[in-house]
Amino acid sequence: MDILSYFPAWLLAHGAALVIVLPLLAAAITAIIPSRSLAWWISLGVMLTALVTSFGIVAQMIAEGSKIYPMGGWAPPHGISLAVDALNAPILLLISAMAVLTVIYAKPASIAEVEPKKQAPFYAAFMLCFAGLMGMVVTGDAFNVFVFLEVSSISTYALVAMGAARDRRALAASYNYLVLGSIGATFFVIGLGFLYMETGTLNMADMGRILSELEGGSRVSTVAFAFIAIGLGLKLAMFPLHAWLPGAYAYAPTMVTVFLASTATKAALYLLLRFGFTVFDPSWDYVGTILTYLVVGLGVFGMIFASLQAIFQTDARRTLAFSSVAQVGYMLLGIGLVSAAGLAAGYLHLINHAIIKGGLFLALGAFWYRFGITRIADFSGLSKTMPWTMGAFTVFALSLIGVPFTAGFVSKVNLATAVADKGWWWAVGVIVVSSVLAIIYMGRILLLAYFGDVPQVDGKPAAKNEAPLMMLAPMWILAALSIVIGVNADLVVETAERAASLLLGKGA
């Protein structure tokens, strides 16, 4: 039976708009609700609805191909449109799935990390962030990309600052994020302004068509792409534009860190793919030069230097934050290859890294919830006091390193194969060196957890004190998914290859 028959016709017809409008409306209602429990239930209901809708969007895209949703009945390019294709549909599903797991996890976590009177506004800001990310991914209008980017960013600044109840450094981290995020947004919107000067339209598909007719356009287009690339580079934490990320990840409430690590930088990377390959064209000299030299160069430096920085951190959250910068480098390397295999490998790592890093931060939050642990030195003996949580953390750590039968291994093998096909053997060496550095900074945590002494409490070893089920369940769902992808990655690889084919074929 056709899977689309299980979805209501109205949901398939309006799903792309629903995943944006529903959380926006729910956020306004949730912000004034006095009950934190009701705020949580509303958030969970909205995220589950978005997940079902996103699944329907993906199923419809596979069955019927790319779709354009004209808003208000105004056909593009004159009206604002939403667009769904093989590039953004899987990311909509990824963001929705991570949002559901994050909200489930937040039930116990937010009580411990966010002030009671701020919990309803906290969930409202989370839904605004979610709506902004979904809007960034699904809109077909370039200026609306900027609008949704700001909706997501402004709500994120507030979410990070709410971590001050646990650590006052969250306020400084939020301010730093606000300043650098605003600079990135400014660069991006300046680039859009130049692009509008060149094409006279804000519809991204129309921009691509006009630029193709102009064979890449004039120097205005060159400047536009440079501004857009730098602006998005700041948003996706491309080395060395990553200064905002370690503090934001380390001091925000755990729920926020999990969601940001698994979705925010991925949405920004999607925009780089969308603009670089469908609005612009990598065959044009200035685009190819930026992708091949700037993007690849900074990505490779990030893989090595961010990994080295991770080794010397004493806080586990900052270790994983710098690791994220290094992992973004892997994705940028794949994009810079400008080949089907490279783009597929970069897109594949985007999906896999969301699963891996989201899971790692889920486990770190559970360690803090039970024992107040954030320093690496305090991980001693955790495998004995929190065996299930540490087991999930171990799966994610091995996947991040790239051990066989994990999602990370699949990503790294595909990327190494792509760069080897390109003849960039030096890049294969960089991948290997970065993986060895990951063994060092993740291995020291695992060594302490499994071979360190259990802390003493009143002269006796600390007793088992496992994380609540609502924390363990999302953790192990992601851990199982990492292993499943490692054993059989056909579905995820096909998804990545479909996205790469669309990018190189100048799809919708």
pLDDT at residue number 379: 86
Cα(479)–Cα(407) distance, rounded to whole angstroms? Answer: 10
Lowest mean pLDDT among 132-136, 146-150, 289-293, 474-478: 289-293
pLDDT at residue number 6: 79
Q: Report whether pLDDT(7) > 80.
A: no
* Percent of all residues in the chain with a pLDDT value above 70, rounded to a whole number: 97
Over residues 402-431, mean pLDDT: 90
| pLDDT per position as a tens digit, 35-71 | 888 888 999 999 999 999 999 898 888 888 888 888 7
Where along the chain do its domains lie?
291-508
Contact 394, 446 (CB under 8 A): yes
Over residues 454-471, mean pLDDT: 72
Cβ density class 409-436: b for 16+ within 10 Å, e for less:
bbbbbbbbebbeebebeebbebbeebbe
Q: Report whether pLDDT(507) > 60.
A: no
Contact 281, 212 (CB under 8 A): yes
What 8-state DSSP symbol labels residue 8? -
pLDDT at residue number 396: 94
Mean pLDDT, the chain, whole residue set: 88
Over residues 328-345, mean pLDDT: 91
Over residues 399-411, mean pLDDT: 91
| Residue 269 three-state SS | helix
pLDDT tier, 94 (very low <50, low <70, confident <90, very high otherwise): very high
The token duo for 444 is 């020291």
Cα(57)–Cα(503) distance, rounded to whole angstroms? Answer: 19
Cα(259)–Cα(375) distance, rounded to whole angstroms? Answer: 21
Cα(245)–Cα(261) distance, rounded to whole angstroms? Answer: 9
Over residues 282-300, mean pLDDT: 88
What are the residues whose beta carbons fall under 8 Å from the beta carbon of 162, sequence distance 6 or more?
114, 115, 118, 122, 125, 170, 252, 253, 256
Of 342, 356, 329, 353, give the one whose Cα is nearest residue 430: 329
Total residues belonging to the chain: 508
Q: How far, CA to CA in Å, does 400 sit from each of 358, 393, 407, 427? A: 11, 10, 8, 18
Q: Report whether pLDDT(273) > 50.
A: yes
pLDDT at residue number 241: 84
Distance of CA 16 to the CA centre of its chain: 19
Lowest mean pLDDT among 114-118, 303-307, 311-315: 114-118
Distance of CA 477 to the CA centre of its chain: 18
Of 231, 186, 203, 94, give the one whose Cα is nearest residue 143: 203
| pLDDT per position as a tens digit, 190-245 | 999 999 998 888 888 888 889 888 887 788 889 999 999 999 998 888 888 888 88
pLDDT tier, 508 (very low <50, low <70, confident <90, very high otherwise): very low
Over residues 424-438, mean pLDDT: 91
Over residues 386-412, mean pLDDT: 92
More confident call, 242 vs 431: 431
Over residues 160-170, mean pLDDT: 83
Cα(233)–Cα(50) distance, rounded to whole angstroms? Answer: 28
Q: Report whether pLDDT(346) > 50.
A: yes
Q: CA gyration radius for the chain?
A: 22
Q: Report whether pLDDT(476) > 90.
A: yes
